[in-house]
Amino acid sequence: MTIEIEAAITVTPAAATKLQSLLDDKGQADSGLRVFVSGGGCSGMQYGMAIETEVRELDEVFESEGIKLIVDPNSLMYLAGSEVDYVDNMMGGGFAINNPNAISTCGCGHSFRSS
């Protein structure tokens, strides 16, 4: 069962622009971004993102800046209140998650530790 509720995870305008461009380039304009957490990484938990065409039964679906975000219930416990951003700097570009629930992160920004 998919439940649409007020966004507990959002994207910045920069991330939305980049994501929409990626979705358009892949011919998947109606797809969404699955954001998830899994065990691993140097801080214990790591972030993951993937373009997703299907919503699973227990997934939560959010919309932010015109982008559909899909999160499973277990990941939502760690990601509630988070923001997906796109950062482009001298080291290159990439997506980053700003997570208020993380009590520490590693240097790469892809893993974290939560309370």
Q: Which superfamily is assigned to 3-114 in CATH?
A: HesB-like domain (2.60.300.12)
| 105: confidence class by pLDDT, cuts 50, 70, 90 | low
Task: For residues 56 and 70, give the distance between their C-alpha atoms in angstroms, rounded to a whole number.
Answer: 9
| CB neighbour burial string for 54-74, b if at least 16 within 10 angstroms, e if fewer | eeeeebbebebbebbbbbbee
pLDDT tens-digit readout, 36-47:
998 865 657 888
Token duo for residue 93: 């570009």
pLDDT tens-digit readout, 68-88:
999 999 999 889 899 999 988
Average pLDDT, the chain: 83
